[in-house]
Amino acid sequence: MTYLPHWPIPSSLGKREINYETVFERMLPVLKKLGNPHKKLPPTIHVTGTNGKGSTVAFLSEILQAAKLKIHVYTSPHLHHCNERIVLDGQKISDNFLYEILEETRIAAGELPLTFFESFTIAAFLAFAKTPADALIIEVGMGARIDATNIIEEKLASIITPISFDHVEYLGNSIERIAVEKAHIIKPQTPVIIGPQPHQAQEIIEIIAQDQNAKMIRYDQEFSIIKNENNNFDLSFFEKTFLNLPAPALIGEHQYINASIAIACALSLPFQINQTHLEQGLTRVSWPSRLEKITNNLTKIFKNSYDEIFIDGAHNQSGALTVARFIMDQKILDKEKNREIKNFIICGFSKNKCKKEFLLNFANLADKVVAVRVWGEPYPEDSQIIAKIGAEIGLNIEACDDLSEALYYIQKHYGDKNCRIIICGSLHLARDVKKFG
């Protein structure tokens, strides 16, 4: 029986040790029947955090592929097809291979009540174990301590992106508790790359890393960045310095941080990574629904020269702040270019999300907020409830039935203006946007 020690954390946060045979009691017998594929994976980098996980994974994958390495990736959730979760050497898993591994998992599980994420993760382990690669990058589903991906005990490195409030019903209602959950990604004698954190989270992570004798590579300590006037940036990593790296291809100031975390991880791995690999990774990267500019048929609703629509998967307070900063930056740019553009937020949530805290970020910033019911959400919040919350905090807010109605509302009332629209609050909204083709 394998245990992690009871780390010296404040007793008020409770006991957080892992008994693998209890926490993963449904997965272990299935994995055993399948030959324990989780012990036959390529060298694994494990990624947790609240915000920036997907973007960091995307940057890291592109950098390593630029170095001619074969890289597999496991992420969640998917936007359109389950195949998106399992990427083998840069390509989404084929339908045939996906069917094969899911059938193997189903047969091995028998009557065991696996969750969707447990069964899909086991199937992913099968795919990765059957397909050799130089490295595997795995994003947690949620938290880390009892996440299905954390059954992997040996790792090449761990990454913790910035931590904030999300999934509090599962992870805890304080930054300290959430940090403890996510810090269970740290394994003995394994490097951990730590993004910028609230001081409460930083303290917890450092205590646990020290206890596990894990080498800490911390933002603004072991690595740091300086943005240049041309939007390129310099990065320091211990004694090394990389000058004039290109601006990340992903939009938003926060992407400089995500890129730097990925670079710090790449440089800490036992691979030969140089400046050319970093530059290629930064400029080739793509990650859907992260301040992604839409160019499909949806934009045909709007006709003005500066009209633009973005989608972003932000669904918590920290994600909303990122979107708000993007709008502020765009307003400064609009002023410099002497152009007038109205800024609109279209948002919808599941019932358990922090709606008031999310919406507060757009007070005195958005010209109009339009609340919608996200029909793809399992537990969608009613748009009238969202609008009521927004009105109580002083937002100029309107309720619409769905995304289409919201877009036509903006076109009807503001169609003679230049419009910038950011759709956020739920990844299901991002899926709806892509349906317009």
DSSP for 84-111, written as a single string: GGEEETTEEPPHHHHHHHHHHHHHHHTT
Burial class of residue 84 in the structure, from the number of CB atoms within 10 Å of its CB (0-12 exposed, 13-18 middle, 19+ buried):
middle
Contacts of 352 (CB under 8 A, 6+ apart): 169, 379
- The token pair at 337 is 């270019």
Secondary element (H or E) of residue 225: strand 223-227
- The token pair at 218 is 């911390």
Beta bridge partners, 86, equal 74
Report the alpha-carbon distance of residue 205 to residue 160 in Å, rounded. 9
Q: What is the pLDDT along the chain (437 residues), one digit of tens a residue?
A: 233 434 444 444 444 455 555 568 899 999 999 999 999 999 999 999 988 899 999 999 999 999 999 999 999 888 778 999 999 999 999 999 999 999 999 999 999 989 999 999 999 999 999 999 999 999 998 767 889 999 998 999 999 999 886 544 445 458 888 898 899 999 999 999 999 999 989 999 999 999 999 999 999 999 999 999 899 999 999 999 999 999 999 988 889 999 999 999 999 999 999 999 999 999 999 887 778 888 766 666 666 656 788 998 887 887 888 899 899 989 999 999 999 999 999 999 988 766 888 999 999 899 999 999 988 778 899 999 999 999 999 999 999 999 889 988 998 999 888 899 999 988 888 777 766 65
Q: Phi/psi of residue 326, each to 5°?
A: -60, -45
Q: What is the pLDDT of residue 118?
A: 95
- Axis-axis angle for helices 116-130, 95-109 (nearest 10): 120
The half-sphere exposure of 152 on its side-chain side, counting CA atoms within 13 A, is 32
DSSP code of residue 425: S
Report the alpha-carbon distance of residue 257 to residue 262 in Å, rounded. 9
Q: What is the pLDDT of residue 290?
A: 77
Using a cut of 0.75, tell me whether the model's pTM lies above it: yes
- The token pair at 413 is 């009332």
Q: Is 428 in a helix, a strand, or coil? A: helix
Q: Which domains does the chain have, with CATH numbers?
A: 11-284 (3.40.1190.10), 292-434 (3.90.190.20)
The neighbour count for residue 151, using CB atoms within 10 Å, is 20
The neighbour count for residue 398, using CB atoms within 10 Å, is 20
